[in-house]
């Protein structure tokens, strides 16, 4: 059984080292050795890809650049700030677009003196939310996100005011006038965006409304190289559910997702935060993902996630209106669930979602009572250890029996070291006499592995951990321990756990079993404090239970220290 357990651990350790090396290569700007990703911060802009959004106008150059020839009207546009209790936003009269969002209740991970910014338009980041109309003879026949618009409405959500409205009105273009009305609510990160299409001409028209998110393909600043989270677009429909698409697949034209539906949304996802365009149910829509050069100075720019919906024929003098929602905010699971079907899936738990969601629910309930996310993590691990007490008891009891017979095994291996076949037969005889099941300590632990992996993803994905304090020097559970105290404690508890386990009969294996936890612990020096706290708590509770079971079975706790000769 020890051999089986060691084999499993070595496989996990080896795969971890492969992933660690790949992330280190990416962190240093090189191609990954084992899992190459062509989208890793390319120096040149991506080549255009043919898509359903090919007729959607490409954004003009970003602020600070010389305007391109066709966008002379951009000189007349202006930008201004609008504030609510949770957002400070910058709008542009060019297209009536939201070009910057600053979250007033979330600090930046790298610079705690300023707020976190998601949508932005600078030399280091290009990330925009745009809408407009297509369907005319030429790409700019109707008002688009490049059309300068007049604006009216309040700029600040005042005390006692629950919402404010901002209205953008385009000029008459191709017989169409577009009116965009943004409704911003107190405490909300979702914005109602009403599009009114007015036919000012003498003939019936058939415009289509496009809603798109455009961003560069770079990872968010400060993203760790020691664990991987998804950054990129996602498409959700009732039929195929949540479909993530890698930037590299878009660039190669190999993106696989549902193209048409009457429900769903498009999103841009990154660690902790997301943006999305949402249309009402039963409205026909076409999804498109492509790569376009928008003239930005940002490397690997840009990728578009576009949703196009046809409007009914608009007769002369008639107005057609369509409500949409723009979400730009943190991945708070309960708020996402209330926003739209499937919206909570932007908080990505991977293939263990079925286990992760109830674990998050329990963690959230504990926090509502304890009011501290750090102690809530400790309480959750304690509850899981209680739930798995009997499984762990069987595993530790089996280990205690193995430890009791270990001296006989060691003596026998030394005596029969030149006869491997007889050694194996003698070992099985000892197991039968002592009623030791070699699989007894392995299976109960393997059953628990998916649960603890799911908890790992819950803690890694939950935005509630950002800037959440625990005690004393730990003031942000989503950031590494600034003084490395928790990783050191975690390393010591892991070594103590190793010392309490039966020593492998093979001296070389015994030495390697001490090296493995040390190497594994190195990664935890760069992990978020919340994850390290979870691992420490699990280690301490496991050591306590193992110590108690060994004592009850008459196997005094012994420390199998390595012998380096």
With a CB cutoff of 8 Å and minimum separation 6, the contacts of 278 are 190, 265, 324, 325, 326, 327, 339, 340, 343
The DSSP annotation for 196-215 comes to: EEEE-SSS-B--EEEEEEEE
pLDDT for 103 equals: 95
pLDDT for 75 equals: 46
Q: How many CB atoms lie within 10 A of CB 43?
A: 7
Contact assessment for residue 359 and residue 453, using Cβ atoms and an 8 Å cutoff: no
Which residues, listed in sequence order, are joined to residue 103 by a DSSP beta bridge?
A: 87, 116
Q: Can you read off the two tokens belonging to residue 271? A: 């660690």
Using the 8-state DSSP alphabet, how is residue 205 labeled? Answer: B
With a CB cutoff of 8 Å and minimum separation 6, the contacts of 417 are 423
Whole-angstrom distance, CA of residue 271 vs CA of residue 251: 22
pLDDT for 472 equals: 82
Whole-angstrom distance, CA of residue 19 vs CA of residue 259: 33
- Tell me the Cα Rg of the chain: 29
Residue 525, burial from CB neighbour count under 10 angstroms (0-12, 13-18, 19+): middle
pLDDT in 10s for each residue of the chain, 565 residues: 444 444 444 445 455 555 554 554 444 444 444 444 433 333 344 444 445 555 566 644 333 333 333 333 344 789 999 999 999 999 999 999 999 999 999 988 777 789 999 999 888 889 999 999 988 666 668 899 999 999 998 889 888 889 999 999 999 888 899 999 999 999 999 999 999 999 988 888 889 999 999 998 888 876 766 667 889 999 999 888 888 998 888 888 888 888 888 899 999 999 999 999 999 998 999 999 998 887 777 877 889 999 999 988 889 989 999 999 999 999 999 899 999 998 999 998 877 888 888 999 999 999 999 999 999 999 998 998 888 777 666 666 666 666 666 666 666 666 666 666 766 676 676 666 666 655 555 555 666 678 878 888 888 888 988 888 888 888 888 888 888 888 888 888 887 877 766 555 555 555 666 666 677 777 778 788 888 898 889 888 888 877 777 676 665 555 555 554 4
Residue 305 host element (H or E): strand 303-310
pLDDT for 367 equals: 92
Which residues, listed in sequence order, are joined to residue 193 by a DSSP beta bridge?
A: 182, 324
Closest CA to 3 of 452, 423, 524: 423
Phi/psi of residue 82, each to 5°?
-130, 135
Which residues, listed in sequence order, are joined to residue 206 by a DSSP beta bridge?
A: none
Per the listing, tokens 């420490």 go with 536
Question: Which strands sit side by side in the sheet containing 273-278, from one edge to the other?
Answer: 149-153, 163-170, 176-185, 190-199, 319-330, 273-278, 265-269, 232-237, 241-244
Contact assessment for residue 497 and residue 546, using Cβ atoms and an 8 Å cutoff: yes
């Amino acid at each position: 059984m020890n051999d089986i357990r060691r084999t499993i651990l070595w496989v996990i350790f080896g795969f971890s080292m492969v992933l660690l090396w790949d992330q280190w290569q990416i962190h240093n700007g090189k191609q990954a050795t084992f899992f190459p990703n062509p989208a890793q911060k390319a120096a040149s802009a991506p080549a255009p890809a043919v898509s359903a959004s090919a007729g959607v106008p490409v954004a003009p150059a970003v602020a600070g650049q010389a305007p391109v020839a066709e966008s002379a009207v951009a000189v007349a546009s202006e930008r201004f700030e609008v504030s609510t209790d949770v957002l400070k936003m910058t709008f542009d009269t060019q297209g009536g677009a939201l070009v910057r969002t600053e979250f007033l209740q979330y600090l930046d991970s790298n610079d705690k003196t300023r707020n976190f910014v998601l949508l932005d338009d600078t030399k280091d980041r290009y990330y925009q939310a745009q809408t407009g109309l297509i369907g005319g003879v030429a790409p700019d026949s109707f008002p688009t996100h490049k059309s300068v618009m007049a604006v009216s409405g309040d700029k600040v959500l005042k005390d006692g005011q629950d919402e404010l409205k901002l209205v953008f009105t385009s000029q008459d273009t191709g017989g169409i006038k577009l009116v965009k009305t943004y409704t911003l609510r107190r405490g909300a990160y979702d914005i109602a965006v009403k599009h009114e299409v007015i036919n000012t001409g003498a003939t019936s028209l058939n415009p289509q409304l496009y809603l798109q998110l455009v961003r560069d393909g770079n990872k968010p600043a400060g993203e760790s190289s020691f664990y991987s989270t998804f950054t990129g677009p996602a498409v959700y429909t009732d039929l195929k559910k949540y479909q993530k698409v890698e930037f590299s697949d878009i660039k190669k034209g190999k993106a696989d997702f549902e193209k048409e539906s009457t429900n769903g949304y498009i999103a841009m996802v990154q660690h902790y935060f997301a943006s999305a365009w949402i249309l009402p149910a039963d409205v026909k829509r076409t999804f498109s993902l492509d790569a376009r050069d928008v003239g930005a100075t940002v490397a690997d720019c840009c990728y578009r996630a576009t949703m196009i919906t046809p409007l009914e024929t608009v007769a002369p003098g008639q107005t057609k209106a369509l409500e949409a929602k723009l979400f730009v905010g943190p991945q708070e699971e309960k708020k996402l669930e209330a926003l739209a079907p499937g919206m909570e899936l932007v908080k990505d738990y991977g293939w263990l979602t079925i286990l992760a969601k109830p674990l998050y629910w329990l963690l959230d309930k504990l926090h509502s009572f304890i009011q501290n996310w750090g102690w809530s993590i400790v309480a959750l691990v304690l509850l899981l250890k209680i739930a798995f007490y009997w499984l762990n008891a069987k595993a530790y009891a089996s280990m205690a029996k193995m430890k009791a017979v270990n001296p006989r095994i060691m003596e026998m291996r030394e005596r029969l070291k030149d006869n491997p076949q007889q050694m194996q037969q003698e070992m099985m005889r000892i197991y039968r006499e002592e009623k030791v099941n070699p699989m007894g300590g392995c299976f109960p632990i393997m059953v628990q592995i998916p649960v603890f992996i799911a908890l790992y993803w819950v803690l890694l994905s939950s935005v509630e951990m950002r800037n959440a304090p625990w005690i004393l020097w730990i003031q942000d559970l989503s950031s590494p321990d600034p003084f490395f105290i928790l990783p050191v404690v975690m390393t010591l508890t892991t070594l103590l756990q190793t010392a309490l386990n039966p020593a492998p009969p093979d001296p070389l294996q015994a030495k390697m079993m001490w090296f493995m936890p040390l190497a594994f612990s190195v990664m935890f020096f760069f992990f978020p404090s919340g994850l390290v706290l979870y691992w420490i708590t699990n280690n301490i509770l496991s050591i306590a239970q193992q110590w108690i079971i060994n004592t009850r079975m008459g196997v005094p706790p012994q420390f199998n220290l390595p012998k380096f000769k």
